Every structure is written in C-alpha cells, then in structure tokens.
Amino acid sequence: MDFISCDQRHVAEIREIFNEAILNSTAVYDYEPRSLATVEAWVEAKYTGGYPILGVTSDSGELMGFASYGAFRPWPAYQHSIEHSVYVDARFRGQGVGGKLLTQLISTASDQGYHMMIGGIDSENLASIALHVQHGFTHCASIREAGFKFGRWLDLHFYQLILPR
C-alpha cells in the first residue's frame, strides 16, 4: 500500500467509492449517487480551501480508499476545528486501509496546526466507531433521528480528537 495525494486524476475512483457508500450504507446520509462533475467540484473545493485528499493505492495502482477534512463550521471561531471523512472501497475493507488513512490524516491535520478533529458516524457503523476509538477519538455528542435512509431513522454520533502538537 502506498500513500498518495488524490487530485483530479482520481475523480472516477473517488466517485465509485462515494457512490457505493451512498447506495449501500449509512456512511453517507445522501440518497443520490454523485455525478462526475460533482466530485470534480468537491476535489477542486478541497484544494482551493487548502484541505488534503489522502489516498491509499494497491500494488497494482487501484485507489483502495481516501480520506479528507474540511471546515467544521464556517464561522471564524471554528477555524482550528475540522471535520473529517474516511472512505474505503468495499473490496478492501478489513485490510487496515481505514487505519492507515486515519493515522495519516491525523498527522497531516496536526502538521497544519489544527486543534481538533471531529467525525460524524452513524450509530450502527460499529467498525468506524471502533476505528476512531482505537485512534484516540472520544464520543462527544449524539443526535437522535438526525437522518432518514433505507426506511428508518438514523442516529448520528460525533467523535472528536484533540490533535497532538
């Protein structure tokens, strides 16, 4: 596995990973698959905002997963806090890809001088919760019935990490 900085060359693979999560999980509280143009704009917005998109590739060069972060909230007092996401291609789950991405994301955020990283995780996504706890995140809030997908109400948990300096 190799780390890469994802860019417009990886848009099609990022889109496939996003859309699999949208269609088959509650990792994304979205209903419709994302278009190529939407993902291109997302990638551009990340780089314009100074936010990384980190990826892990297989030995054959396939994107196994990606992770990124962005502003937690748009007001100035939140400028030291970021919200992150980690997505792993379904074919590569359970192989340590998420952990590698999260470790690198924490390091990058710390190097950029951020103070706190937060992630919103569906309450039933036990693998993601365990991954975050293993990396030092703690539960800080829950919102009951925050979303509705697959015919049921979804509870959203927030996990945070005060970043190392």
pTM: 0.95
28 within some domain: yes
pLDDT in tens, 111-127: 999 999 999 999 999 99
For residue 3, list its beta bridge partners. Answer: 56
The answer, yes or no, to whether residue 103 has pLDDT greater than 90, is yes
3-class SS string, 55-67: EEECCCCCEEEEE
149 within some domain: no
141 within some domain: no
Query: Whole domain around residue 42: which residue ranges?
Result: 2-116
Proportion of the chain above pLDDT 70, given as a percent: 100
153 within some domain: no
How many structural domains compose the chain?
A: 1
Structure tokens at 92: 């590569």
When pLDDT is cut at 50, 70 and 90, the band that residue 7 belongs to is confident
38 within some domain: yes
C-alpha span between 141 and 150 (Å, rounded): 23
C-alpha span between 44 and 136 (Å, rounded): 30
160 within some domain: no
Three-class DSSP category at 87: strand
When pLDDT is cut at 50, 70 and 90, the band that residue 165 belongs to is confident
137 within some domain: no
46 within some domain: yes
C-alpha span between 131 and 116 (Å, rounded): 17
C-alpha span between 111 and 145 (Å, rounded): 35
Q: Where are the beta strands (DSSP E) in 6-60?
A: 53-57
Where residue 28 sits, what CATH number does that domain have?
3.40.630.30
C-alpha span between 118 and 123 (Å, rounded): 15
What is the pLDDT at residue 1? 78
Question: What is the average per-residue pLDDT within 86-98?
Answer: 96
